[in-house]
Amino acid sequence: MPRRDVGLAVLVILVWGVNFVAAKMAMETLPPLLMAALRFVLVALPAVFVIARPRMGFWPVLASGLTMGALQFGLLYVGMMLGMPAGLASLVLQVQTLFTVVIAATVLRERPNRMQVAGIVIGLVGMAVVGAQYLAAAPVLPFLLTVGAALSWAFGNVITRRHPPRTGFSLVVWSALVPPVPLLLASFWLEGGPASALAAIQHVSLRSLGGLAFIAYGASMFGYGIWNLLLSRHSAASVAPWSMFVPVIGAGAAWLYDGELPTPLGILGAAITVTGVLLALGVGNRVLRRRANPPVPTPHSEPPGL
Cβ within 8 Å of residue 25, ≥6 positions away: 207, 208, 210, 211
pLDDT at residue number 306: 41
pLDDT at residue number 198: 93
CA dist., res. 201 & res. 207, Å (int): 13
CA dist., res. 80 & res. 33, Å (int): 10
pLDDT at residue number 230: 93
pLDDT at residue number 89: 77
pLDDT at residue number 41: 96
Cα Rg of the chain (Å, integer): 21
- The DSSP letter of residue 303 is P
Helical H runs in 85-224?
86-92, 96-107, 114-135, 140-162, 168-175, 180-190, 193-202, 206-213
CA dist., res. 296 & res. 247, Å (int): 41
Tens of each residue's pLDDT in the chain, 306 residues: 888 999 999 999 999 988 878 888 898 899 989 999 999 999 999 999 999 999 888 999 999 999 999 999 999 888 887 877 766 777 788 888 888 988 998 998 888 888 888 888 888 888 778 777 666 666 778 888 988 999 999 999 999 999 988 788 999 999 999 999 999 999 999 898 899 999 999 999 999 999 999 999 999 999 999 999 999 889 888 888 888 888 778 777 777 776 666 677 777 877 888 788 888 877 655 544 555 555 555 555 455 544
CA dist., res. 247 & res. 90, Å (int): 6
Going from N- to C-terminal start, the domains of the chain cover 3-287
